[in-house]
Amino acid sequence: MTIEAGQSLTGQPTTARQAGARRPLGELGRAALGRAGRAALLATGRPPVPDALEPLVQVHRRHHPQADLALLARAYRLAEASHRGQKRKSGEPYITHPLAVTMILAQLGAGTTTLVASLLHDTVEDTELTLEQVGAGFGPEVAYLVDGVTKLEKVDFGAAAEAETFRKMLVATGDDVRVMVIKLADRLHNMRTIRHMKPASQVRIAKVTRDVLIPLAERLGIQVLKAELEDIVFATLHPEEHARTRGLMAGHESEPDALLEPFARRLARQLAETGVAAEVTVRPRHCVSLHRVLIKRAAAPGRDGRPQEPQPADFGRLLVVVEENADCYAVLGELHTCWTPLPGEFKDFVAAPKFNLYQSLHTAVALDGGAVVEVLVRTRRMHEVAETGVVALGDPTPAGPAQDTDELDRTDPARPGWLSRLLEWQQETPDPDAFWSALTADLAGDREITVVTESGETLQLRAGASCVDAAYLLGEETGHRCIGARVNGRLTALSTPLQDGDVLAVLTESLPPGGGAQPSGPSPEWLAHARTPAARLAIERWLADHPARLPVVRTGPAGGQPAPPAHRAGERRAAPVVVAGRPGAQVRLARCCTPVPPDAVAGYPIRGGAVAVHRTACPAGQRLRADGRAELEVRWQPGDAPAAGHRVTLRAEALNRPRLLADLTAAISAEGVGIVSAEVEPPQELRVRHTYTVELPEPGALPALMRAMLKVSGVYDVSRPHAPEGTQTRHSGGNGGDRPAPGVRPSWGIHGRSTAFSGHRSPGGIQGTTPKPSSDQRTE
């Protein structure tokens, strides 16, 4: 495939063979163009341009009728004189290379300044001409573009020269995207002549083009250039598969089109009858695009279980070009009314453009014979941008008064968001190897997604990015303080991949007022979930500055707090419970549900004449009753308490983070409560469950203890196991964590419902809720 920018769209549909016969850039009829050019120049009185520039001038004036041809001629003469005597590996004079690169840019519709810089782009690198001389002769704008694409010397940078050259180009592209446009055109011409290179050099150049240049062309939206680069790289790295795919394309073009062309005519007639002005053409796929379709066909067995053969509709798509944005949806309505649309194939890139400014409606319809045809619908302006990307936006100009634009025209000439993010993280990677690895990894994603925060902020992320990446995109401090995320209203792990259109809330650790305290920071496991270089670099930098420390667990009371009463080993613990009809019976408070006043309780006889006391909703007690054990009436003795205090089990659900265990145990001991045992389950998707058995000096200390545990950063739920169904409530998100949630009133009356608190954390802390934990099935 070769570039044919500015191709006029006719009113009649074309066949795949006609649409695919794109003339190479060098076959422009130089003799005819030369005669016409000289006659036009003599008629207008303008000074003639060099003969070698006449084809270029003709192409350039299609897009820019008032172009400064004298400036182009002067740039060409300087480039020709500077490169005189130099040869390319093909044996051609070197000046043919800048001329070919400039022709590519002219066909894309680039401005005169870009073409001047393209003619001179190798002079500073390969000749005695200096950047100062270029600036003096053509101005600082041209000098900046030439400097941006000039390679760094291997003598100065050694093996890092290529990586540092790309870094230099990217930084220059941040101020002027034309730097990268010139580089892409330069690489395209070099790839067209890659056959003159050594085989090893061909493979190396093709791989760099595949990993870096093609993704950059995609992000800049220059589709015609990207497609040709893809085909040449495909032919270089996979010659056999390329030859096989080209053979299929040639065989298809040699036969009459019995599917796409007739359907294009039918659609054109249908749109004409409805009054929609549109041009319908058959747009053939290029080699790599067809190869991808064939791979999908081979991977999807047919009804007979065998790989599917390519279908006629696989070789092309229909392109419908209309005048107005509203006409795009009118065409869509006709398509879906007259033919059967395929579910899941419709994509609206008009209302929601791609990150590279691409806009079109995509759909697929089934024809009468069962064939499926893909259709693209766009306006003329959208077509220009889809083909040539940022080049169609024109040369950068100083900010002026806002111009009237169609509200559905989402093209933005400002710096692309992906480029801004790339420039940010590249500053943090001084090492060339690390920069190159991060660059290729960042460009590996072939698309971006849009995520909206609950506060209304829009985040652009590469496909596959996780909540960790989104947290660091909001700022490095936000990322370091992140302890969880809520996606589409549901609490989720930081490792969760985000999808296009997700609504996100990043949950952060609240720091005490007055500053001075450091956030817990990221854990090494986050690196496995970070997909963007910016997030990975920030995490690695934090981990390097904060070596891992073992948590210091404090299980005693805090200073100034009374210690819980101790008891001697072997001492029988008196239970503050009376069993009706069994005075003096030995009573054991079940450890599975750890009842405390004023819980509703029931007694069950066990071996040895003792009575086990369970909370009424405890599954273990219900099993005893189901096994035929008699349920005994028991009641709490007011004012009576065991010597060692009331033992109770609490469960804390939290988002895993460093030092969580130390903070929770410190919060418990600060309430004057002793810890009997603690159990930490392995994290599941960055969530963790802590279970503590503690001894309370009095039952009234339980609510304050649960509130204190909930205030620990990362804890979103504190509950007691075996809470009665429907009555268990939780703390999880704005009441400040110091009272139950609105409408939830814990019961401490005679019926003794179980107690757990629910609410919302303060704005700096956790927000959101999670499902209730499963009940503990252990028995005494």
Q: Judge contact between 447 and 215, C-beta under 8 A.
A: no
CA 395 vs CA 129, 141, 187, 603: distances in Å: 26, 11, 21, 85
Region of 456 (left: φ > 0; alpha: ψ -120 to 50; beta: rest) is left
At 69, which helix (H) or strand (E)? helix 69-83
Region of 485 (left: φ > 0; alpha: ψ -120 to 50; beta: rest) is beta
Report the length, in residues, of the chain: 780
Amino acid at 674: G
Tokens 């419908």 -> residue: 320
- Per DSSP, helices labelled H in 197-259 are 199-208, 214-219, 223-237, 239-253
- In angstroms, the CA 599 to CA 596 distance is 6
Residue 14 has what DSSP assignment?
A: -
Q: Could you give the residue numbers annotated as active site?
A: 125-126
- In angstroms, the CA 497 to CA 20 distance is 40
Instruction: Give the closest residue to 645 by CA, choosing from 610, 596, 584, 703.
Output: 596
Amino acid at 287: C
Question: Which residues lie below 8 Å from residue 552, measured CB to CB, with a gap of 6+?
Answer: 662
Please report the DSSP string for 300-344 in residue order: SB-TTSSBPPPPGGGGEEEEEEESSHHHHHHHHHHHHHHSEEPTT
Six-digit token string for 211: 């990993």
Neighbours of 314 (CB within 10 A): 21
CA 51 vs CA 37, 82, 316: distances in Å: 9, 18, 39
- In angstroms, the CA 203 to CA 427 distance is 30
Buried b (16+ CB within 10 A) or exposed e, 557-594: beeeeeebeeeeeeeeeebbbbbeebeebebbbbbbbb
Amino acid at 449: I
CA 711 vs CA 338, 463, 511, 650, 693: distances in Å: 61, 35, 11, 15, 19
CA 153 vs CA 159, 165, 504: distances in Å: 10, 9, 46
Q: Judge contact between 632 and 582, C-beta under 8 A.
A: yes
Question: Which residues lie below 8 Å from residue 166, measured CB to CB, with a gap of 6+?
Answer: 212, 436, 439
Neighbours of 32 (CB within 10 A): 11
Q: Judge contact between 257 and 215, C-beta under 8 A.
A: no
Q: What is the 3-state secondary structure (H, E, C) of 129-150?
A: CCHHHHHHHHCHHHHHHHHHHC
Rg, the chain, Cα only: 36
Q: Residue 650's beta-bridge partner residues?
A: 692
